[in-house]
Amino acid sequence: MNLMRITASVQKIAEVIASVINVDVTIVDCELNRIAATGCYGDHIGTKVSRNSVFGFALRQGEGFIIDNPRNHMACKQCEDQHQCKEHAQVCCPIKVYHETVGVIGLIAFEETQKKSIVNNQENLMAFLHRMADLIASKLMEEEKTEKIKLLARELEIVLDAVDRGIIAVDAVGKIMHFNLKAAQLFRLDEKSVIHRNIDEILGEIDFYDLKMRNISIKNREFSYKKGAYRVRGIYGINPIIVGMDTVGYVFTFSNISEALNVVNDVIGSAIETKFHHIIGESEGMARAKEEAQKAAESPSTILIQGESGTGKELFARAIHFQGSRRRRPFIPINCAAIPEQLLESELFGYEEGAFTGAKRGGKAGKFELANKGTIFLDEIGDMPLHLQAKLLRVLQENVIEKIGGREYIPIDVRIIAATNKNLEQKVMEGEFRKDLYYRLNVIPLNIPSLRDRMEDVDILVGNLLRKCNHKLGKRVEGIQTGALRILQNYQWPGNVRELENTIEYAVNMCSQNQISEEDLPKRLKNRENQEQSNADTRVMTIRELEYREIEKALKLCEGSKQSMDKAAELLGLSRATLYRKLKEYQLKQSQSETNVSF
């Protein structure tokens, strides 16, 4: 702490002391700078006092004392002016803050009458000086606290200006006391015209009276602000400032709608980023679909993805989005079949406050607004009601939306990817889907093959799903036995990859060994396999399948007997060498019929 901060106050106190005691006064700080003085030393303010002086001695001792015999007192022994000293008496009183000596008050008597006054009133004099020292110390502490408050206020101001939301603080009646840089930019405010004005004058849509009556925090309300030709829409929140039992003010936070949507994208978009290499499949049909999708990703045109349920339409939509130029913007999916018809419109387009009974205060942004500058994925578009198809057509034609209860169109920039498992051309012919909307959506058609049309992908899908299920369930299933894999490859998979994923998760849960066996598969798959074997299904088996099964059967029949391989070769009509070659080709072991396939 430095007395230099309060030199004006210290000088006034020095003058008071001099007038009361009628002696010259000098006050120094901890660096022995003369910061206040009266009488003959008045012209020496700002100069330094010697460290060998009585002031230096007093600083080192930290105690008050009276010198009535200058030149002979121990405090004077090292003074350079010891033998030329003209002073008749001196008094020194330390100034202490938190037990630290920060300065010294010194009284100097140049006449005998002054000396006698000091000597005769030593006790009262020292008590008075200690009170003056305490007064100076309290002034210094007050100044320190004021400086700290100013520093904290400045630090807080810097922090608030760094926040990416506008902040306005008001008192209990709504008068603006402070606002940060972001609020100034958002509402184009300047301090002179705003401070102490009521916030209602800035944002007339806020029901401040209602806020005061309820005295609760409010989040995610929409606002609209106009100033001349300038307009901004966004979201605000309010938090009361409560001290003890009293509400002394409120803090308003504001976000520009586009910035708020970027936050939405950070939370729900990038967290599930998908690329084309995440889509598993090497079959010809899947390779072609991925190639077409990658080309479509580079275009802003609307895409219609068609495929059965469970084929991965949303996975393709995400990969297209994250491969394209909008990858850093929101990806907002919505299933048009999963939301009741009466709610779908508000989910897609949003609504204004008071649009209908039960509408949230402040209204709500719809999926299209959330997807602005990004991509919206309209899954199961074939289930969209006709009256909403008309509103969607307006979005595609004019790039605007109209909220429920809204009085104006809101411009948006959204790429639309739609998907369906229905035959939209048939629905158009039946009058259940608008022809003009169909053509608007079907600019780039993309067909995803069903799993039964790419059965060669089953084994690599199983390997991938096995790793996922191990991680999810905390298990260590290393692979799948050939018989079990063959059952999966022969099944028709009406539920496609989604059904396969469900099947593998079931099998991993049931598996008690390190590999999935036929016994671990769901009964519906095994029953179908048994039915096909017993009913002489119309499906024609390939020569390789027949050969594999007969070799497997012969090995089972001869297992455990002496010279089992010779007997098996004899049953099959093969030489022993040919049988061994077939075993290697089909990865069969001579001692067991079930070989293991690991991933």
Phi, psi for 4 (deg, rounded to 5)? -55, -25
pTM value?
Answer: 0.56
Q: What is the rounded average pLDDT of the residues 128-134?
A: 94
Please indicate whether residue 220 or residue 528 has the higher confidence score (pLDDT): 220
Q: What are phi and psi of 210, to 5 degrees?
A: -60, -40
Q: What is the token pair recorded at 1?
A: 């702490």
The predicted structure's pLDDT at residue 562: 58
**Integer Cα distance of 107 and 126 in angstroms:** 11
- Average pLDDT of span 277-292: 93
Residue 378 structure tokens:
């309209």
Mean predicted confidence (pLDDT) in 437-457: 94
Alpha-helix residue ranges (DSSP H) falling in 402-542: 424-429, 435-441, 458-473, 482-490, 496-510, 523-534
Assess contact for 365 and 406: CB atoms under 8 A.
Answer: no
Please tell me the CATH superfamily of domain 164-258, with its number.
Answer: PAS domain (3.30.450.20)
Do residues 129 and 64 make contact, with C-beta atoms less than 8 angstroms apart?
Answer: yes
Name every residue whose Cβ is closer than 8 Å to that of residue 404 and which is 6 or more positions away in sequence. Answer: 345, 346, 349, 350, 351, 352, 355, 356
41, 44, 54, 206, 418 from 3: Cα distances, Å: 18, 17, 19, 50, 74
> Is the pLDDT reported for residue 255 higher than 90?
no
Q: What's the confidence (pLDDT) of residue 272?
A: 67
Range with the poorest average pLDDT among 42-51, 150-159, 257-266: 257-266
Task: Say if residue 2's pLDDT is above 80.
Answer: yes
Structure tokens at 29: 């700080």
Distances (CA, A) of 542 to 421, 545, 547, 549: 32, 5, 9, 11
Q: Which helix (H) or strand (E) holds 224?
A: strand 218-227
Q: Measured in Å, how far apart are the chain's first and last C-alpha atoms?
A: 72
Provide CB contacts within 8 A for 402, sequence distance 6+.
Answer: 349, 391, 394, 408, 409, 410
Residue range 175-186: mean pLDDT, rounded: 88
Strand arrangement, sheet containing 246-256: 176-179, 166-171, 246-256, 230-243, 218-227
Give the three-class secondary structure for 352. coil
Give the integer Cα–Cα distance in Å for 582 and 595. 13
Of the listed ranges 4-13, 275-284, 472-481, 560-569, the one predicted with least confidence: 560-569
Q: pLDDT-based confidence at 155, cuts 50/70/90?
A: confident
Which residues touch 299 (CB under 8 Å, ≥6 apart)?
444
pLDDT digits (tens, 9 = 90+) for 62-107: 998 988 887 777 778 777 776 677 778 889 999 999 889 999 999 9
Least confident of 163-177, 299-313, 436-450, 501-515: 163-177
pLDDT confidence of residue 536: 46
Of the listed ranges 139-148, 267-276, 429-438, 531-540, the one predicted with least confidence: 531-540
The predicted model gives 218-233 an average pLDDT of: 77
Question: Residue ranges per domain, the chain?
Answer: 3-144, 164-258, 269-447, 454-539, 540-599
Judged by average pLDDT, the poorest of 182-186, 417-421, 476-480, 512-516 is 182-186
Per-residue pLDDT of 514-565, as tens digits, reads 999 999 999 888 776 555 554 444 556 678 778 888 888 888 777 766 578 8
pLDDT, residue 13, reads 94
Position with higher pLDDT, 109 vs 86: 109
Q: Does residue 462 carry a pLDDT above 90?
A: yes
Q: What percent of the chain has pLDDT over 70?
A: 89
Residues paired with residue 94 on neighbouring β-strands, in sequence order:
104
Q: Alpha carbon 73 to chain centroid distance? A: 72
Q: Give which of 238, 222, 253, 207 is closest to 363, Cα–Cα.
A: 222
pLDDT at 29: 94
Placement of tokens 């007050």 in the chain:
142
For the segment 295-299, the average pLDDT, to the nearest whole number, is 94
Residue 588: the pLDDT is 75
Q: Which amino acid is at 391?
A: K
pLDDT band at 569 (very low <50, low <70, confident <90, very high): confident
Spatial separation of the C-alpha atoms in residues 48 and 41, rounded to whole Å: 12
Cross-strand partners of 97: 100
* Exposure string for 185-194, b = 16+ CB within 10 A, e = fewer: ebbebeeeeb
Query: Are the beta carbons of 373 and 330 closer than 8 angstroms?
Result: yes
Angle at 240 between CA 235 and CA 242, to 5 degrees: 165
Amino acid making up residue 6: I
Whether 384 and 330 have beta carbons less than 8 Å apart is answered as no
pLDDT at 394 over 60: yes
Radius of gyration of the chain (CA): 44
CATH topology agreement for domains 3-144 and 164-258: yes
d(C-alpha 599, C-alpha 464), whole Å:
8
- At 584, the pLDDT band (50, 70, 90 cuts) reads confident
Q: Predicted confidence band at 210 (pLDDT cuts at 50, 70, 90)?
A: low
Instruction: Quick: pLDDT tens for 19-69.
Output: 898 899 999 999 999 999 998 888 899 999 888 888 999 999 899 898 888
DSSP 351: B
Helical (H) or strand (E) element with 98: none
- Helices 496-510 and 458-473: angle between axes, nearest 10 degrees: 50
Pairing relation of β-strands 65-67 and 176-179? unpaired
Say whether pLDDT at 492 is over 70. Answer: yes
All residues at 6 or more sequence positions from 352 whose CB lies less than 8 Å from its CB, including other chains: 222, 359, 363, 403, 404, 405, 406
Average pLDDT over residues 437-465: 94
CATH number for 269-447 (one of 2.160.20.10, 3.90.650.10, 3.40.190.180, 3.40.50.300): it is: 3.40.50.300
Least confident of 138-152, 282-296, 410-424: 138-152
Question: pLDDT category, 230, cuts 50, 70, 90?
Answer: confident
Residues 381 and 336 sit within 8 Å (Cβ to Cβ): yes
Whole-angstrom Cα distance, residue 104 to residue 122?
17
Q: H/E/C letters for each residue in 17-30?
A: HHHHHCCEEEEEEC
Give me the amino acid identity at 452.
Answer: R
> What would the mean pLDDT of 487-493 be, rounded to a whole number?
91
Structural tokens at position 488: 């999966």
Average pLDDT, the chain: 85
3-144: CATH class: alpha beta
Question: What sign does the dihedral 75-77-79-82 (CA atoms) show?
Answer: positive
Nearest to 417 by CA among 534, 334, 510, 502: 334
pLDDT of residue 16: 92
Between strands 246-256 and 166-171, the pairing is: antiparallel
| Residue 190, pLDDT above cutoff 70 | yes
405 Cβ neighbours under 8 A, 6+ residues apart: 351, 352, 353, 354, 355, 356, 359, 363
What mean pLDDT is predicted for residues 95-124? 89
Given 1.10.1060.10, 3.90.870.30, 1.10.8.60, 3.30.43.10, which CATH number is that of 454-539?
Answer: 1.10.8.60
What was the pLDDT predicted at 539?
Answer: 58
